[in-house]
Amino acid sequence: MTVPARGAEALTRMFQPRSVAIVGASDDPARISGRALRFLREAGFAGGLYPVNPRRETVQGLRAYPSVADIPEVPDVGLIAVPAAMALDAVRDCAAKGMAGVYVFSSGFSEAGVEGAKAQAEILRVAREAGMRVLGPNCLGAFNSEIGFFGMFATSLDRGLPSPGPVAVVSQSGAHGQHIAYMARQRGLGVTYCITTGNEMDVDAAEVLDWVVRQPDVKVVMVYAEGVRDGARLVSALKTARALKKPVVFMKVGSSAAGARAVSSHTSALAGADAIHDAVLRQYGAWRAVSTQDQVDIAYACAWGIYPASGRVGLVSVSGGGGVQMADFAERFGLDAAPMPEGARAKLREIMPHAAPENPFDVTGQIVNDASLMERALRVLCTDTDYDVLAGYFTTVALDRGATGRLRDAILKGTEGHDRLIVLCMLADPETVRAYEEAGFLVYEDPYRAMAAVAALRFFAESFARAEEAAAPLPPACARPGGPLDEVAARRLLAEAGLPVLPETLAASADEAAAAADAMGYPVAMKIVSPDIAHKTEIGGVLLNVADRAAVRAGFDTLTSRARDAAPGARLSGILVTPMARKGVETIVGVTVDPTFGPVVMFGLGGVFVEVFRDVCFRAAPFGVEEARAMIPETKAASLLAGARGAPAADVEALAHALAAVSRFAAANAHWLDSIDINPFLVLPAGEGALALDAVIVPSPDAPGDAADEERKAS
Amino acid sequence: MTVPARGAEALTRMFQPRSVAIVGASDDPARISGRALRFLREAGFAGGLYPVNPRRETVQGLRAYPSVADIPEVPDVGLIAVPAAMALDAVRDCAAKGMAGVYVFSSGFSEAGVEGAKAQAEILRVAREAGMRVLGPNCLGAFNSEIGFFGMFATSLDRGLPSPGPVAVVSQSGAHGQHIAYMARQRGLGVTYCITTGNEMDVDAAEVLDWVVRQPDVKVVMVYAEGVRDGARLVSALKTARALKKPVVFMKVGSSAAGARAVSSHTSALAGADAIHDAVLRQYGAWRAVSTQDQVDIAYACAWGIYPASGRVGLVSVSGGGGVQMADFAERFGLDAAPMPEGARAKLREIMPHAAPENPFDVTGQIVNDASLMERALRVLCTDTDYDVLAGYFTTVALDRGATGRLRDAILKGTEGHDRLIVLCMLADPETVRAYEEAGFLVYEDPYRAMAAVAALRFFAESFARAEEAAAPLPPACARPGGPLDEVAARRLLAEAGLPVLPETLAASADEAAAAADAMGYPVAMKIVSPDIAHKTEIGGVLLNVADRAAVRAGFDTLTSRARDAAPGARLSGILVTPMARKGVETIVGVTVDPTFGPVVMFGLGGVFVEVFRDVCFRAAPFGVEEARAMIPETKAASLLAGARGAPAADVEALAHALAAVSRFAAANAHWLDSIDINPFLVLPAGEGALALDAVIVPSPDAPGDAADEERKAS
């Protein structure tokens, strides 16, 4: 018996099988255990089909095998449609046979409590030992419509089997996975793969995503997830997708408190912090859909494979209101309904002397009587403008049995030879819509949804264009600190990591303090440093704007005596001398270690902004300077940094370099880090840099020398 | 000839006519001029039908009249379907006949340029003289399906005539109005009225809204507007709707720069400032829809007439993912998926021992085999919880021909005798959906859209419940100031209007300053007041924390000599003495006079918050304290005022009273006011009040004694 490969090859055998065993296959084609076989037969699956049922000679007209062992070849995949109590034996039989993988349809495992989790673990042990992969348990299976393989018992397949096409669906939820596939089909989209991962005891959605984006026929993937089991694997799959220019439209649920409660109660997946999931998906080029409708709308747009080079959109309509709506929605979704170029204006004036030759351009209801107006207007938009997207709004004109043919001819002729993305918004019969789609147009009922989809196409265009930044090498990891770091130690670590800090000296004497201040230049700030004095300001332990040498010497004495008076037993580390910080924009830079994605860098405006407005953004570490630059406009910090209220523009380059540096530091020290809080991180005027003024670095509470640390040391 | 009433009675005759003339009626039922007659005949309109066509004996089989004068009775309404050049004569004929109103379908008027605007004005003159109302021109007409009256030439009516029902549509855009009506019909909603107002030379959308909400059969109105011609009339119509508990779902387009450009180029309507339109719609109880789909979704929900008493929503699903989605969307739209009560938990545990008895509750795919699980779960939700809304997600189960009947029985039995709003989310055949709707359930495909609609129902419930506040009487109007007010005069005006200000004295001598300070208590602030010195701080013209009598006397001399030194010729009004302001939350309170809605009060956090975050909200003036209280949580100010970062809670009652007072002041002085800017308006800790620290009041640039002023004086 050969042990099959654990990786992509096994998945290929599982989702492109040449032969299938159905363990527990029922003769009743309406039962869960009978459905997959029925669908496989209906679809004309050309490979081997081996129902296993010890109680019958035949199942649904096929010869039944009393056991897996009796099957005359080694099937690529086994579908296990037996009650939970019998699943382990079935898995063992399939493993013994040497199958690449099994789908465990059965429920009653980790989702059902402790006993179920134990049974699941045992299945996993058996499968792992044999090198066999497992989809599920508690999953709905998967289909590959290209080869008529329907290893799935979805109710919606009763309404007809999907045709192959550009779409793949990957879903943790079985019910919702087939729901998405059904909606895509309703929208006229071919769906080649739908793969549901259920409890994900072995194969998870990320691994399936990585496999499915590599399939040449797949042009767009819809993912539905309640939790992410392995953040690194998901990131890796998203990077694969981006490198192959395959858009991933991702619906991640569980963002609400009640939703997260439900997720943890019904699957074993971690909901994770929603804002971080959101940021990571964006960072690695996946578009997060807000609803299933949104997801299908965007996948539909992606199926055409046209990713516009800019968000400049030219708009034409048959009603003023339609044009205005498109313009509103374009702006709402960040597109640019830029003014009509002068050359085009002149030509539009010739076509309709009374109409304003603007963008949006309103051909008016005259279209019903004279469709050539639309043809001519579209020709102008195609030849005399540089809009990368053209969108037309036709309300109900295509419902008019007289006008619909004239409208189609006008649109086809007017856009002949075009190379733009053209989106039509109309109410129309399905056959009318199909005809437009076949001619290369995207068709939406609602311009709101159309513009949302165009915005997603633009997002993918930018994401595909952004070559992955060559990651700067990580700095060497630091030794895990023995405990919390004092501020001086924290700043020193950050300075070593390449973050800008003020020069500072911890002076043990008035002479040392004065010498340090001389070197720094005046004025300076002076501060008591003591592990035993937390609130320095309250005891007068901070002196600002100390102007000269004499004042520094005097200040040293003042501070040390204040420390002695206020806290007689306190250990005094010394008096810290730093130059006075200049004026700048106060931001906050932080690191949190997410249980799913590891160290994540946070950035936002400092002070009350963080607390009141929660105006922060995140990126998984490490990342480069380009990615760091992209963080800044995600918060309102951008407008302050650009120089609001007459202030000079701030040094955003220094900020971006610092963000990238802190991300590298966090990635290098993820094994011991719990959090970093640099607040304020002061961004000085352009050319003057930035400063990590205060920093708190907290090591994780794990005992020093834990497993990860040991592993690290060994490597 | 009797002159018909200009108000609601005329509109009743126009939209519930007993007889109709069609001027320019064509024998060709496909032409614009032939369509209305065709629809009227198809619908079996029972009143008088009088085609006017001098060139034919009959039109579409009916006797044609050579002229309006030849019609044997006085039709209530005339439909004018002639080219623009002939419209004036037709209107004149209808006016001479004594009709209540006409619909002018013809285009080529104000939307087409100066000549068209002139022709339109002439039509208006003729109609006004005769006391006849005009719908349009450049409109699509209107229908009243209750009586089979289709005075409209919409293309979508070719696809069948709407049935009467709870919905009315009021639209400035003809094309979009019929589009909305068609979508409502597609959704299974009866549409009694669809009225399009076109150029609104006379009858506008607000007046139609006011009329249509008073019709007993109308339960919900969808309005589509590009601009608001008369803000006061719209506000009045919205108040009527709210008093009658008729929801208004309003789509106002033209929010974007390009959209506003298109609006002004294709109609005469003013787009207005979008944020203010938004605020006014909310203030008077209209829900602003973001898209046509959204609008129809919400109108559909309103058609059931169930407005839940709370946003507490109980969720049940057949898939974990479905439940999580509903919970996420509920939170997104401000609903409360509150935890399952203990009693219900116990009963749910009995039904499904392995499932978590949470909200959302997942009945799982077992529903397909055992629908009674759903019945029992729903019964628990209906009898053992106090959720005012129940929502279920059934993905594709209703597509399963075997399961759909069992599911329906389970849902009907489980909810028997319920009195909640119950929303079902499912993919299903139209006949299945209809059956649920007839049993009183709302059905949506997508839970996102369902939860958005429930949120709108909650908005209406709150709006209907809020009795209109008895408006406090307005203060007497002030005389229009001769020019810009200095800060002392501005504060004095506001103090008279009931706003809290610090006591202040403009001292002419050191003695006066000292006496004033004695009366106020120390420390005080002192400041140069001069119309010729703009930047007081720069010349050292402000002294803070002046501690005692002697320092005040010395300060007076210091400031007067600084003023003399810095600006030798400056007129010195005196030295202002005020107590030092205490610490509080800096907010901004402003007034702007909107061209559509008149004076509007703005509120938000002060300083950089306004400029960077634009975190402000608006209300049309005047309004009461309750409305003012509702403003505060619309901005992030609420969390700071509640005492963020360990600060004491602020005196929001004082703030609310100040907002109401400034709204009354603004309303009373709208005839001369351009803007008010109270920045900062300092909100002190609870019980300590608030302070208008600095204020700028700008009169409008109109010459004193302008028409509005004169009118006011005369009244």
DSSP code string of A303-315: HT----SS-BEEE
Alpha carbon distance A681, B158 (integer Å) = 66
pLDDT higher than threshold 80 for residue A471: no
Question: How many contacts, defined by CB atoms under 8 Å, are there between A and B?
Answer: 271
pLDDT value of residue A484: 74
Which residues does residue A616 pair with via DSSP β-bridges, in sequence order? A604
**Helix-strand-coil split of chain A, %, nearest 5:** 45, 20, 35
Q: Determine the residue among B172, B226, B318, B324 to mutate to test chain A binding: the one whose Cβ has the most chain A Cβ atoms within 10 Å.
A: B324
Q: Which helix (H) or strand (E) holds B133?
A: strand B133-135
CB contact under 8 A, A293 and B257: no
The single-letter DSSP state of residue B609 is I
Q: pLDDT band for position A314 (50/70/90)?
A: very high
- The closest CB to that of A226, out of B324, B400, B401, belongs to B324
pLDDT higher than threshold 80 for residue A539: yes
- The closest CB to that of B290, out of A154, A448, A608, belongs to A448
Which residues from chain A sit within 8 angstroms of residue B171, using beta carbons?
321
CB contact under 8 A, A226 and B158: no
Question: Domain A503-579: which CATH class?
Answer: alpha beta
Torsion of CA B509, B510, B511, B512, to 10 degrees: 50
- The closest CB to that of A155, out of B257, B293, B397, belongs to B397
Which residues from chain A sit within 8 angstroms of residue B113, using beta carbons?
354
Torsion of CA B425, B430, B431, B432, to 10 degrees: -20
Minimum distance, in Å, between the CA of residue A266 and any CA atom of chain B: 6
Which residues from chain A sit within 8 angstroms of residue B321, using beta carbons?
171-173, 175-176, 224, 226, 253
Secondary structure (DSSP) of A235-254: HHHHHHHHHTT--EEEEE--
Which residues from chain A sit within 8 angstroms of residue B322, using beta carbons?
173, 175-176
B25, B153 in Cβ contact below 8 A? no
Where are any strands of DSSP class E within A380-512?
Answer: 389-393, 421-425, 442-444, 505-507
Pick B628 or A570 by higher pLDDT.
Answer: B628
ipTM of model: 0.90
- The closest CB to that of A156, out of B108, B179, B396, belongs to B396
Which residues from chain A sit within 8 angstroms of residue B175, using beta carbons?
318-319, 321-322, 365, 395-396
B638, B655 in Cβ contact below 8 A? no
Question: Domain B585-714: which CATH class?
Answer: alpha beta
Alpha carbon distance A155, B359 (integer Å) = 25
Number of neighbouring beta carbons within 10 Å of residue A339: 13
CB contact under 8 A, A293 and B446: yes
- The closest CB to that of A396, out of B179, B259, B324, belongs to B179
pLDDT value of residue A645: 67
**Mean pLDDT over residues A630-648, rounded?**
86
CB contact under 8 A, B318 and A158: no
Alpha carbon distance A235, A226 (integer Å) = 16
Which residues from chain B sit within 8 angstroms of residue A354, using beta carbons?
108, 112-113
pLDDT higher than threshold 80 for residue A528: yes
pLDDT value of residue A271: 37
- The closest CB to that of A644, out of B265, B612, B636, belongs to B612
Question: What's the fold here for domain A307-465?
Answer: Rossmann fold (3.40.50)
Which residues from chain A sit within 8 angstroms of residue B612, using beta carbons?
636, 639-640, 644
Which residues from chain A sit within 8 angstroms of residue B356, using beta carbons?
262, 265-266
What 3-state class would DSSP assign to A12? Answer: helix
- The closest CB to that of B265, out of A32, A318, A358, belongs to A358
**Mean pLDDT over residues A235-243, rounded?**
95
CB contact under 8 A, B448 and A154: no
pLDDT value of residue A2: 38
pLDDT value of residue A393: 96
- The closest CB to that of A257, out of B113, B255, B331, belongs to B331
Which residues from chain A sit within 8 angstroms of residue B395, using beta carbons?
175-176, 178-179
**Mean pLDDT over residues A533-545, rounded?**
82
Please classify residue B252 by burial: count the beta carbons closer than 10 Å to its beta carbon, then call 0-12 exposed, 13-18 middle and 19+ buried.
Answer: buried
Fold matches, B503-579 and B585-714: no
Question: What end-to-end distance do the CA atoms of chain B give, in Å?
Answer: 35
In CATH terms, the superfamily for domain A1-140 is NAD(P)-binding Rossmann-like Domain (3.40.50.720)
pLDDT value of residue B356: 86
Mean pLDDT of chain A: 90
- The closest CB to that of B330, out of A116, A256, A266, belongs to A256
Find the closest chain B residue to A643 by CA distance.
B612
CATH of domain B1-143: 3.40.50.720
pLDDT value of residue B254: 84
Low-confidence ranges of chain B (pLDDT < 50): 1-5, 265-272, 703-715
Q: Determine the residue among B395, B444, B635, B645 to mutate to test chain A binding: the one whose Cβ has the most chain A Cβ atoms within 10 Å.
A: B395
pLDDT value of residue B486: 78
Residue A21, φ and ψ in degrees, nearest 5: -100, 140
Percent over 90 (pLDDT), chain A: 73
Alpha carbon distance A376, B446 (integer Å) = 39
CB contact under 8 A, B636 and A613: yes
CB contact under 8 A, B320 and A173: yes
Which residues from chain A sit within 8 angstroms of residue B402, using beta carbons?
30
CB contact under 8 A, B256 and A328: yes
pLDDT value of residue B703: 45
pLDDT value of residue B702: 64
CB contact under 8 A, B182 and A447: no
For residues B444-453, one letter each, b for 16 or more C-beta atoms within 10 angstroms of the residue's C-beta and e for the rest, the string is bbbbbbbbbb
CB contact under 8 A, B645 and A258: no
Residue A445, φ and ψ in degrees, nearest 5: -75, -40
Asked which of A326-340, A442-456, A580-594, B234-248 is least confident by mean pLDDT, the reply is A580-594
Minimum distance, in Å, between the CA of residue A671 and any CA atom of chain B: 33
pLDDT (tens digit per residue) in A246-284 = 999 999 998 777 766 665 544 333 334 788 999 999 999
Which residues from chain B sit within 8 angstroms of residue A641, using beta carbons?
none
Q: pLDDT band for position A79 (50/70/90)?
A: very high
Q: How many helices (H) and strands (E) does chain B have?
A: 24, 29
CB contact under 8 A, A320 and B636: no
CB contact under 8 A, A178 and B396: yes
pLDDT value of residue A482: 79
- Is CATH 3.30.870.10 the right assignment for the domain spanning B162-303? no
| Cβ neighbours of residue A223 closer than 8 Å, sequence gap 6 or more | A169, A170, A171, A205, A209, A248, A249, A250, A251, A286
CB contact under 8 A, B401 and A328: no
CB contact under 8 A, B319 and A175: yes
- The closest CB to that of A612, out of B315, B322, B640, belongs to B640
Which residues from chain A sit within 8 angstroms of residue B257, using beta carbons?
331
Minimum distance, in Å, between the CA of residue B354 and any CA atom of chain A: 5
Which residues from chain A sit within 8 angstroms of residue B427, using beta carbons?
156, 179, 182-183
Q: Residue ranges of the domains in chain A?
A: 1-140, 162-303, 307-465, 503-579, 585-714
Which residues from chain B sit within 8 angstroms of residue A399, using beta carbons?
155-156, 158-159, 182
Q: Using CA of residue A288, residue A290, residue A292, residue A296, what is the dihedral sign?
A: negative
Which residues from chain B sit within 8 angstroms of residue A405, using beta carbons?
none
CB contact under 8 A, A448 and B292: yes
Q: pLDDT band for position A419 (50/70/90)?
A: confident
